[in-house]
Amino acid sequence: MNTAVSTPSSLANDLSQIQPANKAFLARRHGLLIDGTWVPAASGKTFEVRDPSSDEVITHCAEGDAVDADRAVAAARRALEEGDWSRMKPVDRERLMHRLADLIEQHADELAELEAIDNGKSVVMARYVDIKHAIDVWRYMAGWPTKLEGKTLPISGNLVPGQEYAAFSTREPVGVVAAIIAWNFPLLLATWKCAPALAAGCTVVLKPAEETPLTAIRLGELVQEAGFPKGVFNIVTGAGPSAGAALSSHPDVDKVTFTGSTEVGRLIVQAASGNMKKVTVELGGKSPVIVLDDADIDAAIAGAAGAIFFNQGQVCCAGSRLLVAKRHFERVVEGVSAAARGMKIGPGLDPTAQMGPLVSSVQRDRVSRYLSEGLAAGARAPAGGTAMKTPGYYVTPTVFTDVNSQMSIVREEIFGPVLVAQPFDDLADIAKLANDSIYGLGASIWTSDVGKVFRLASKLKAGSVWVNCHTVLDPCMPFGGYKQSGWGRELGGEAVHSYLESKSLCINITG
Ligand code: ADP
């Protein structure tokens, strides 16, 4: 069992070395962005933000609650119906969004560093995955406002004899959007929600996760610098059960869009039913990585390790179930375990670290519970299997074998660097095994046979199927889940359309 020994001091970020802009940012007390102004919470309360690598408090943010949610929603409503935003031409909306993308790009290194300190992730990954992808998504979505077309409809008008009609469909913003997001990709998830919502002409109240509010706040500052009218983009930081619940049940919010656990997703859906809000929820996963017997095994080993260990396994579509053709099982398991054992564990600001801390002590304890449950149930861990006794929230990257489908480590989403590996005998059974989950977010197939790709991909109940790769995301590719992985899709035109209402316009043209 690997216990990756390092001295605790090398596992904590050295905050004396961070960029001056971020030092100044952390030194500030952060407010809520409501109607174009940063304000304290009405209650005056704040909450602590911690560095996951050290458990040290790094800054404080305003703790918004239902009163603040009300103020933010009212501002978003005014901006939607009365302000400059409501009169803004699509091409001007597009220009603002491009300006914001340019500003994010200009501040990319700073944002990546902030993400690494706040979430625990690698600064290199933050820069070249989170921030880069966020910039690409803002630019992609900036192209949409000028392309939201309606249709001319071929109406027959048969129900009313002697009358003639012309009919059209138009697209209108759905209204005020509440965006409630998780902590695993803070800026990126804020972008996935806010960029298509703004492209569609909606106004937004963003509630970042309480674990990781910092890049959302920086985004709010950049939105202001870009020149968006006041009230278009509001931020309420605070706890899920107060600020989040107030937004998801708010009678003047038209749509709630959420990324997080299936458990909280269910609460959001229930809360949203009060005024029948439109809902998009992107939830949990237990995505299979399927290695067929004709796969390039070395590529599959590297791919499977990346699929589970990227971002400390805190990825909704992480490849957390490894299903391998029996004759390659031992080789693949040993390859992925060796990769796990060889990973350099370290804090986000160490550019050479390959596995950072988890986001919070709660998450570390949750993952540790699964490690104990797995071992107690009889699973074997050729790599990892332990949390580390450090102030930071580290667990060792883990591979479990000798598992069965009754075990909690096989059935439940762990959201940590924990892989369960199972062999399969027969290609005919593989879809059944892969689909044996309440989730259906992603799946990858590793093979050199294109025929098998087509036959298997169509049987997999998953919103994304990757072949010889895993977690490849692009602004144009819809992303979301089957089954209990969610409703609706992020990214692509599908995301933009989920922030639009369709209106049929019927005109009596009888002469
Ligand atoms: P995780 O379980 O991975 O920590 P959650 O699903 O709990 O993630 O949280 C995702 C987001 O949902 C966060 O912004 C959190 O504050 C928010 N949230 C948590 N509970 C609720 C709730 N009851 N109503 C609305 N939002 C909530």
Q: pLDDT tens, 222-237? A: 999 999 999 999 999 9
Q: What is the pTM of this model?
A: 0.97
pLDDT of residue 10: 86
Tell me the DSSP string of 193-233.
HHHHHHHTT-EEEEE--TT--HHHHHHHHHHHHHTPPTTSE
Q: Whose CA is nearest to atom 18 of ligand 1?
A: 240
Question: How far apart are the C-alpha atoms of 306 and 129, rounded to whole Å?
Answer: 13
Q: Whose CA is nearest to atom 12 of ligand 1?
A: 240
Confidence of residue 8 (pLDDT cuts 50, 70, 90): low
**86 Cα: distance to centroid of ligand 1 (angstroms):** 31
Q: Which residue in the list 61, 202, 316, 317 is annotated as catalytic?
A: 316
**227 Cα: distance to centroid of ligand 1 (angstroms):** 30
Confidence of residue 427 (pLDDT cuts 50, 70, 90): confident
Nearest to 177 by CA among 73, 68, 283: 73
Ligand 1 pocket, Cβ-based, cut-off 6 angstroms:
180-182, 207, 209-210, 240-241, 244-245, 248, 260-261, 264, 267-268
**74 Cα: distance to centroid of ligand 1 (angstroms):** 23
- Topology of 288-474 in CATH? Aldehyde Dehydrogenase; Chain A, domain 2 (3.40.309)
214-237: b (≥16 Cβ within 10 Å) or e: bbbbbbbbbbbebebbbbbbbbbb
pLDDT of residue 83: 86
Mutate to test the pocket of ligand 1, among 49, 180, 311 (most ligand atoms within 8 A of CB): 180
pLDDT of residue 350: 97
Question: Can you tell me whether residue 107 is helix, strand or coil?
Answer: coil
Q: How far apart are the first and last CA of the chain?
A: 85
What is the per-residue pLDDT across 135-182, written as a single tens digit (0 to 9) for each?
Answer: 999 999 999 999 999 999 999 988 899 999 999 999 999 999 999 999
Question: How far apart are the C-alpha atoms of 208 and 180, rounded to whole Å?
Answer: 6
Question: Does 282 participate in catalysis according to the annotation?
Answer: yes
Nearest to 314 by CA among 343, 335, 285, 341: 285
What is the per-residue pLDDT across 375-400, written as a single tens digit (0 to 9) for each?
Answer: 999 999 999 998 889 999 999 999 99
Q: What is the mean pLDDT of residues 101-110?
A: 98
pLDDT of residue 7: 43
**295 Cα: distance to centroid of ligand 1 (angstroms):** 39
pLDDT of residue 387: 80
Confidence of residue 4 (pLDDT cuts 50, 70, 90): very low
Q: What is the mean pLDDT of residues 18-36?
A: 97
pLDDT of residue 86: 86
Q: Is the pLDDT of residue 128 over 90?
A: yes
- From the CA of 209, give the closest atom in ligand 1: 14
pLDDT of residue 445: 98
Q: What is the mean pLDDT of residues 63-78?
A: 98
- From the CA of 360, give the closest atom in ligand 1: 4
Question: Does 202 participate in catalysis according to the annotation?
Answer: no
Mutate to test the pocket of ligand 1, among 264, 279, 315, 413 (most ligand atoms within 8 A of CB): 264
CA 485 to chain centroid: 12
What is the per-residue pLDDT across 477-503, written as a single tens digit (0 to 9) for each?
Answer: 999 999 999 999 999 999 999 999 999
Confidence of residue 259 (pLDDT cuts 50, 70, 90): very high
Question: How far apart are the C-alpha atoms of 92 and 171, rounded to whole Å?
Answer: 18
Return the domain boundaries, the chain: 11-283+488-502, 288-474
Q: Which residue in the list 94, 282, 413, 490 is annotated as catalytic?
A: 282
pLDDT of residue 187: 98
**59 Cα: distance to centroid of ligand 1 (angstroms):** 21
* Beta-strand relationship, 203-207 and 29-30: unpaired
CB atoms within 10 A of CB 266: 13
**337 Cα: distance to centroid of ligand 1 (angstroms):** 32
Mean residue pLDDT across the chain: 96
pLDDT of residue 406: 96
Backbone angles phi, psi at 375, to 5 degrees: -65, -40
- From the CA of 363, give the closest atom in ligand 1: 4
Q: Which range, of 69-73, 83-87, 125-129, averages the lowest pLDDT? A: 83-87
Cα distances (angstroms) measured from residue 83 to each of 40, 55, 203, 231: 24, 43, 11, 8
**111 Cα: distance to centroid of ligand 1 (angstroms):** 23
Q: Is the pLDDT of residue 2 over 80?
A: no
- From the CA of 239, give the closest atom in ligand 1: 16
Q: Whose CA is nearest to atom 8 of ligand 1?
A: 260
Architecture of the domain whose range is 11-283+488-502: 3-Layer(aba) Sandwich (3.40)
